[in-house]
Chains A and B, each alone.
Chain A
Amino acid sequence: MIELKNVYKSFGDRVILEDISVLFEKGKTNLIIGQSGSGKTVLLKSVVGLHNIDSGAIIYGDADFTKMSFEEKKAIRQEIGMLFQGGALFDSSTVEENVRFPLDMFTNKSVEEKRERVNFCLKRVKLEKVNRLFPAEISGGMKKRVAIARAIALNPKYLFCDEPNSGLDPMTSIVIDNLIKEITEEYDITTIVNTHDMNSVMEIGDKVVFIYKGKKTWEGTKDDIFNVDNRFLNDFVFASPLSKKVKSLANK
């Protein structure tokens, strides 16, 4: 479980996040949605500690991340897996080396144990026979899957995904969404996904938090989202002609 309490963040005079309070539950896929520039990525990066917040609290379990020492933060970070927008795989390392990296860095497993774990993680994301390929030699969807494999290598308690479907076709997006949901339930972890992809919301959104201009404007489930009287959320959710048509058909 991760809880945010009255989080504020600004860059210079520009206020990016204003009084965000939300509870991200364990074993659920928690989605942060909002337009580009609404503050979603800053919020996610603040939660993982890549940005220091101005005020408020970020509670992991029962400990406030913002008040932790460097060593305590380091320990928490080893329980975090993160999937970045572009995958953030290490270009100069093979797929196998990428997935093995956290194991090399933070465990004392033998070479054989590490190889087994790498193969297990890659198999879990439905990737095989790619161990020796470099990131530049695989597709965007495969990169995302390798990044998920790397994120779960150390059995994380928390999984963060920043725009996991950006740049992917709808079919591959569904594969990635389902993987994230399956892994969340299988390992009973707290997952937070940043997205503006409404298909993802409908596929995996156990809990949805809507951010508008740096403020939490709404939270609920994917089933509630169609019947909300919130102009900003409705403008965002039903932005495309197709979704407008779906909504009008649903209302009939």
Chain B
Amino acid sequence: MRKVFAKPEKHRIYYKQFIKEIASLGVSSIGIVAIISAFMGAVITIQTAYNIENPLLPPYLIGVAARDSILLEFSSTMVALILAGKVGSSIASELGTMRVSEQIDALEIMGVNSASFLILPKIAAAMIFNPFLALLSMSIGIFGGWAVGTFVGVITTEQYILGIRYAFNTYYITYSIIKTVVFAFIITSVASYYGYNVRGGSIEVGESSTKAVVYSSVFILMFNLILTQLLLS
């Protein structure tokens, strides 16, 4: 870790790497995050509607439940778990392949701090870009809930919007962003650790990729509990 956060040798090169990582870890994840968020928002809306089929409960509660589920849990934790699979395995296999094909040794021999050069831009890129993914997920999730909810007739547009706006607490967004930043650090650092320290060949690269996903998912769930207790209690 100390090597990763050492002073960069040449800021311009690191900045270029950072931009490259924003594209490969962040921008390339927009599609999957959008699709999953839309479907998850829709499912949450339909499930909530079927669970509160009671004339005493106002229909706008469907919007409230969808909003709170998406903001509090889905856009941070669920998206982080999905990204742990997509981004985590990609980082671990990229670094693992670089290790076994001696590309990391080549960097070290040139006098480059390989840990910092390869890992720091990934961590920085994910911690800066993932909050945008979380915001995108919130927007698309809420939109998906509205689109499908009104399409299947479980709620009207007015009721859904009323629910979304009802007793809205902006801190939920802050809470979600804080969690997203922590999860981004977990995904990139755990995956980088397993990828960078691979020894062996292609089988070990595959194993490191699996370990990266499993351990980062477990850490995400653990930190989700800790952060929820710290930030919402």
On A, residues with C-beta under 8 Å from B are 45, 48-50, 73-75, 77-78, 80, 82, 84-86, 88-91, 101-102, 104-106, 160
Knowing A88-B103, A90-B103, A105-B9 are in contact, say whether A50-B108 is a contact too (CB < 8 A).
Answer: yes
Does B158 sit within 8 A of A, measured CB to CB? no
Interface of A, secondary structure class, is mixed
Q: Are A78 and B111 in contact (CB under 8 A)?
A: yes
A80 to chain B, nearest CB (A): 6
Knowing A104-B10, A104-B13, A105-B13 are in contact, say whether A82-B101 is a contact too (CB < 8 A).
Answer: no
Does B109 sit within 8 A of A, measured CB to CB? yes
A173 to chain B, nearest CB (A): 20
A157 to chain B, nearest CB (A): 13
Q: Are B110 and A50 in contact (CB under 8 A)?
A: no
Knowing A85-B102, A86-B101 are in contact, say whether A102-B109 is a contact too (CB < 8 A).
Answer: no
Q: Which residues of A contact B109 (CB under 8 A)?
A: 48-50, 77, 80, 82, 160
Does B36 sit within 8 A of A, measured CB to CB? no
Tell me the complex Cα distance, A102–B106, Å. 11
B6 to chain A, nearest CB (A): 10
B220 to chain A, nearest CB (A): 27
Does B221 sit within 8 A of A, measured CB to CB? no
Tell me the complex Cα distance, A48–B110, Å. 10
On B, residues with C-beta under 8 Å from A are 9-10, 13, 97-98, 101-103, 105-106, 108-112
Q: Which residues of A contact B98 (CB under 8 A)?
A: 90-91
B6: nearest chain-A partner, CB-CB: A70
A93 to chain B, nearest CB (A): 10
A82: nearest chain-B partner, CB-CB: B109
B12: nearest chain-A partner, CB-CB: A104
A76: nearest chain-B partner, CB-CB: B111
Tell me the complex Cα distance, A160–B112, Å. 17
A79: nearest chain-B partner, CB-CB: B111
Q: Are A84 and B102 in contact (CB under 8 A)?
A: yes
Known: A77-B110, A90-B106, A104-B13. 8 other contacts (CB 8 A): A50-B105, A73-B111, A82-B106, A88-B105, A90-B103, A91-B98, A105-B9, A105-B13
Selected contact of B110 from candidates A45, A78, A160, CB within 8 Å: A78
Tell me the complex Cα distance, A49–B97, Å. 21
Knowing A104-B13, A105-B9, A105-B13 are in contact, say whether A86-B110 is a contact too (CB < 8 A).
Answer: no
B130 to chain A, nearest CB (A): 22
A154: nearest chain-B partner, CB-CB: B110
Selected contact of A88 from candidates B9, B13, B106, B112, CB within 8 Å: B106
